[in-house]
């Protein structure tokens, strides 16, 4: 890009250069997708990569590395290592020869990655972290569509999705109907072998996550939320959890503020718009949000007022490779996908040169 520079005989331009060696740490919930989101922009911008796979799901990433070798990638350009966070992940974050680290995972671990990056060589970071996304359903919405889409927005991938729409605010006029329909939809959800096409829901990733979800369900019960369906393990073996719905959820309940990462739908009520934006934003997270309404003015007002990196209107979990994705607040910083992702993997250099006088 060429720029005019001051008055006189000067030429100025900018170069977008690779950052260098990029450490990338991906999670277990979407191992192939997260690998693609990370590798694409980093390689396109000319960087080399050391990628740490999640210890729960290493096989997909290792197979992609094998395919890269077969495709003729030069040695050293793409390096993929399995390992644990406190060892392999920490080594990448702390290493003095790593110029950037990109991490997707929990906010808790995101803190550690950022601290390690700062304490080492002040390496650049992009962090895509947790969420507790608000989903607003107005009384004028297509309620059948809102129920089905909100169901998908919570229960997709067994609820193991950073942008899951877990805080559902429903306008009082339709609250009871929305809750009733949501329960009926959850009753239809088949839980079992994920390789059976008749099942919509498989197990949680491991025992630790299984126990964490059940613990949050018990917290919700103890806090006074109304359990309408589910709340227990499904079956007598494996890490399967029943689709669970709570009504009469209050903003300050612990399980309504912290990320559960499981098949647990929490339905809150609102009766006026005056404090709706404040309630929606009353979270340390800001990854995604959604609104269901036939009134475009309401939808646009919500989109402008909510502090979230992605806002869906009358839809949920819609993605495009060209559309940026990332969070506000403690959901992280930086963006994945599209042109904005390329910016995360380049350094901008300004070059100025004095040139001879030219006659007009």
As annotated, the active-site residues are 128, 162
Q: Which of 72, 17, 77 is nearest to 43 (CA)?
A: 77
Judge whether 311 and 289 are in contact, CB under 8 Å. Answer: yes
* Largest pairwise CA distance in the chain: 87
Distance CA 51, CA 24 (A): 5
Please name every residue paired with 265 in a beta bridge, in sequence order, or none if there are none: 245
Distance CA 144, CA 137 (A): 11
**Contact residues for 115 (Cβ-Cβ < 8 A; gap 6+):** none
Distance CA 257, CA 251 (A): 7
Cα separations (Å) of 253 from 64, 87, 231?
42, 35, 17
Distance CA 351, CA 2 (A): 10
């Amino acid at each position: 890009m060429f720029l005019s520079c001051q008055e006189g005989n000067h030429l100025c331009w900018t170069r977008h250069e690779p950052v260098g060696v990029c450490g990338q740490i991906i999670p277990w919930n979407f191992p192939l997708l997260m690998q693609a989101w990370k590798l694409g922009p980093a390689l396109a911008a000319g960087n080399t990569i050391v990628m740490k796979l999640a210890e729960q799901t290493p096989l997909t990433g290792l197979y992609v590395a094998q395919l890269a070798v077969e495709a003729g990638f030069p040695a050293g350009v793409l390096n993929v290592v399995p390992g644990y966070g406190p060892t392999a992940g920490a080594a990448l974050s702390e290493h003095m020869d790593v110029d950037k680290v990109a991490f997707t995972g929990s906010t808790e671990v995101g803190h550690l990655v950022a601290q390690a990056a700062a304490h080492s060589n002040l390496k650049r970071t992009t962090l895509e972290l947790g969420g507790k996304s608000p989903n607003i359903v107005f009384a004028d919405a297509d309620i059948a569509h809102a129920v089905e889409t909100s169901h998908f927005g919570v229960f997709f991938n067994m609820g193991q999705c950073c942008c899951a729409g877990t805080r559902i605010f429903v306008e009082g006029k339709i609250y009871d109907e929305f809750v009733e329909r949501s329960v009926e939809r959850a009753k239809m959800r088949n839980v079992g072998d994920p390789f059976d096409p008749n099942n919509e829901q498989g197990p949680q990733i491991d025992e630790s996550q299984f126990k964490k979800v059940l613990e949050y369900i018990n917290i919700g019960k103890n806090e006074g939320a109304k359990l309408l369906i589910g709340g227990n393990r499904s079956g007598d073996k494996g890490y399967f959890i029943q689709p669970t719905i709570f009504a009469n959820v209050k903003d300050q309940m612990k399980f309504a503020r912290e990320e559960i990462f499981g098949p647990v739908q929490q339905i809150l009520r609102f009766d006026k718009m005056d404090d709706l934006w404040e309630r929606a934003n009353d979270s340390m997270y800001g990854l995604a949000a959604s609104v269901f309404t036939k009134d475009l003015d309401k939808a646009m007002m919500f989109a402008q007022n909510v502090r979230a990196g992605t806002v869906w209107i009358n839809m949920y979990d819609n993605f495009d490779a060209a559309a940026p994705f990332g969070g506000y607040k403690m959901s992280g910083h930086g963006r994945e996908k599209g042109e904005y992702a390329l910016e995360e993997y380049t350094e901008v250099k300004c070059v100025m040169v004095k040139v001879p006088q030219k006659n007009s």
